[in-house]
Amino acid sequence: MLVDHVIAPDAEALEAFLRRHLRSDALVQVAAECEVLYHGRAASTADAGDYLLIVKRDGSLQLHGDTGIKPVNWQPQVDDVHLELDDGRLALTAQRFTPPEWVRVTFLAVGFAQAVELTETSGFVLMGTEAEMQRALALEPERIEAGLEVLELELPTPVGGIDLYARDVEGRLVVVELKRGRANQEAVHQLQRYVAAVRDQLDDADVRGILAAPEITGPALERLQGIGLEYRQVTALPTMDDARDEQPSLF
Amino acid sequence: MLVDHVIAPDAEALEAFLRRHLRSDALVQVAAECEVLYHGRAASTADAGDYLLIVKRDGSLQLHGDTGIKPVNWQPQVDDVHLELDDGRLALTAQRFTPPEWVRVTFLAVGFAQAVELTETSGFVLMGTEAEMQRALALEPERIEAGLEVLELELPTPVGGIDLYARDVEGRLVVVELKRGRANQEAVHQLQRYVAAVRDQLDDADVRGILAAPEITGPALERLQGIGLEYRQVTALPTMDDARDEQPSLF
DNA sequence: ACATGAATATTGGAT
DNA sequence: ATCCAATTTTCATGT
């Protein structure tokens, strides 16, 4: 799994190491005190300190500090990585063209560099996405309301796709917006947009809007009801409360 | 910088290593074939394969595969990390309470483990945030429109804060929504909300809405103009085009 | 602790 | 390539 490593290499040794491994299938790491320059979407940033640089097989690059999930600097993919040895210091530049941006890391003092191979990668299982929720509720619309008949999934409108488009027991059209987690004001506005689009299109003011989610924030509920839309608590899938009850030790 | 490391440790050796370093100030890594279970906001996931586990000083945990910026599994902070040796296999469980979720990593075959110290961390410079754009345009509102007078920054409304609240040369009120990057439909709706709130509050239909951004998407512009709102291209700050022109080698 | 909004969000899917 | 919407977004901030 650990393919190769060097401890406290000088600039030449680090350059040799990186040239050997960067374009291989290995994940390359460098722990070093370094300067980092970024220019692109964020205009520009400059950093200096001890960081852990990770360059993955797909060319993505991230530079981690000692706290936080997010890297201090990163580049999702790169079109070009190149090394330059200048003035006794090695610099790695990762550049991409769309959007145009680049990150340059200049190594000042290197702790170690290593190449790691992560070969075995199985598939994964994910349950509880909004898409699954949509399918589940399309099959059992009575979970939202008795007598509800689903007409369309992801019905396109000029302002986006309506999650569930349905007709209620009294024949009124119903726009349903689903949220997997706690619905907030943003979700209310999304629903409002869709309802307005349908009313506009059909020239029919009698269109209902339902926000279906396991939870909703206070301000969101207030606003929702203030504009004549409805909230339905839907617990078709495991919610956060389930996690509170279950203990890891059960596994 | 590299404090300690073990290569291909067995479960007991790995446990000893992790107990020694996990609560220290070091960043701990383990490269291993492992099983990963997650339960929480995403309902649940299960993974197996070769991953690189990183546990930082603040207790945040991330599990990286060999591609992509985002970890396969992660936990922003944890309230509790514990190790269990069961059936000859070591399992690390990281749990947090709000929101309730946990990740459990069971190590099957370990490549190496290491502890890294990242001490030197200087401050950083970041330019080009929306907040800076707001301050810059508040000082020079003529960049948006001649004769514009800024009345308020971040004026609160029931539906959120208005970036710039102003009066135009003809005395009409103007709501300005700023976007640092390319404005999309979401931004248009945000502006629409604010304009509606002001018209409502003042019972005055003659309130203008301006979306100020360096770029705008086609659909967003169409919708914006369709509802009588305006777009102003603002290039008060370095935009993406600057990055295209500049070369890393200039540094 | 909760809610809101920005961000180099990233990622996947549709057009 | 562009755009839109979901995501365990993360993070900072205000209440």
A191 and A216 Cβ atoms separated by less than 8 Å: no
pLDDT of residue A243: 36
Tokens of B4: 């300690």
Could you give the CA distance from residue B220 to residue B185 in angstroms, rounded to a whole number?
A: 5
Could you give the CA distance from residue B100 to residue B151 in angstroms, rounded to a whole number?
A: 44
Contact residues, B window 163-222, toward A, CB-based 8 Å cutoff? 181, 185, 189, 193
Q: Is the pLDDT of residue B75 over 80?
A: yes
A91 and A84 Cβ atoms separated by less than 8 Å: yes
List chain B residues with CB under 8 Å of A69: 60, 62, 71, 74, 76
Which of left, alpha, beta for B53 (phi over 0: left; psi -120 to 50: alpha)?
beta
B238 and B180 Cβ atoms separated by less than 8 Å: no
CB atoms closer than 10 angstroms to residue B27: 24
Could you give the CA distance from residue B14 to residue B110 in angstroms, rounded to a whole number?
A: 8
Is the CB of residue B59 less than 8 Å away from at least one CB of chain A? no
**Crossing angle between the packed helical segments B218-226 and B185-202, to the nearest 10 degrees:** 20
pLDDT of residue A13: 97
Q: Is the CB of B160 under 7 A from strand D?
A: no
Task: End-to-end CA distance of chain A: give it in Å, rounded.
Answer: 28
pLDDT of residue B48: 85
Of B68-72, B127-131, B154-158, give the range with the top mean pLDDT: B68-72
Q: Is the CB of B192 under 7 A from strand D?
A: no
List chain A residues with CB under 8 Å of B251: 37, 104
Q: What is the mean pLDDT of each run of 10 residues along chain A (251 residues)?
A: 93 96 92 90 83 93 92 89 91 89 93 91 67 83 92 84 93 92 87 90 91 89 93 64 33 22
Task: Look at chain A and count its residues.
Answer: 251
Q: Assign B130 a pLDDT band (cuts: 50, 70, 90).
A: confident
Percent of chain B with pLDDT over 90: 52
When the pLDDT of each residue in chain B is averaged and rounded to a whole number, the result is 86
Instruction: Write down the residue that tokens 């009850």 correspond to.
Output: A245
Q: Is the pLDDT of residue B105 over 60?
A: yes
pTM: 0.82
Could you give the CA distance from residue B233 to residue B182 in angstroms, rounded to a whole number?
A: 10
pLDDT of residue A150: 93
Could you give the CA distance from residue B191 to residue A54 in angstroms, rounded to a whole number?
A: 40
Contact residues, B window 104-163, toward A, CB-based 8 Å cutoff? 104, 111-112, 116-122, 124-128, 158-160
| B40 beta partners | B43
Q: Is the pLDDT of residue B203 over 60?
A: yes
Q: Is the CB of A59 under 7 A from strand C?
A: no
pLDDT of residue A173: 95
pLDDT of residue A125: 64
pLDDT of residue A126: 62
Is the CB of residue A50 less than 8 Å away from at least one CB of chain B? yes
Query: Cβ neighbours of residue A76 under 8 Å, at least 6 residues apart?
Result: A60, A96, B69
The DSSP bridge pattern shows strands B89-96 and B101-116 to be antiparallel
Residue type, A141: P
- Taking CB atoms within 8 Å and a gap of at least 24, the contacts of B197-201 are B197/B157, B197/B158, B197/B159, B198/B157, B198/B162, B198/B165, B198/B173, B201/B157
Could you give the CA distance from residue B246 to residue A40 in angstroms, rounded to a whole number?
A: 10
pLDDT of residue A244: 36
**What SS3 state is found at A110?**
strand
pLDDT of residue B100: 85
List chain A residues with CB under 8 Å of B47: 122, 124-125
The nucleotide lying nearest A222 (C-alpha to C1') is C3
Contact residues, A window 6-45, toward B, CB-based 8 Å cutoff? 7, 25, 27, 31-33, 37, 39-45
Pairwise CB contact (< 8 Å): B159 & A51:
no
List chain B residues with CB under 8 Å of A117: 50
Find the farthest-apart pair of alpha carbons in chain B and give their distance in angstroms, rounded: 79
CB atoms closer than 10 angstroms to residue B136: 14
pLDDT tens-digit profile of B208-236? 999 999 889 999 999 999 999 999 998 75
Nearest residue on chain A to B239, alpha-carbon basis: A43
pLDDT of residue B238: 43
List chain B residues with CB under 8 Å of A238: 43-44
pLDDT of residue A27: 95
Helix and strand numbers, DSSP H then E, in chain A: 5, 16
Could you give the CA distance from residue A130 to residue A216 in angstroms, rounded to a whole number?
A: 16
Query: A36 φ, ψ to 5°?
Result: -130, 130
| A190 beta partners | none
CA within 13 Å, CB half, A226: 11
Q: Is the pLDDT of residue B244 over 50?
A: no
Could you give the CA distance from residue B208 to residue B170 in angstroms, rounded to a whole number?
A: 11
pLDDT of residue A127: 65
Q: Is the CB of B217 under 7 A from strand D?
A: yes
B53 and B34 Cβ atoms separated by less than 8 Å: yes
Pairwise CB contact (< 8 Å): A248 & B104:
yes
Pairwise CB contact (< 8 Å): B240 & A72:
no
Tokens of B14: 């790995």
Nearest to A244 by CA among B40, B103, B42, B77: B40
pLDDT of residue B249: 29
If DSSP states are collapsed to H, E and C, what string results for B209-243?
EEEEECEECHHHHHHHHHCCCEEEECCCCCCHHHH
A111 and B2 Cβ atoms separated by less than 8 Å: yes
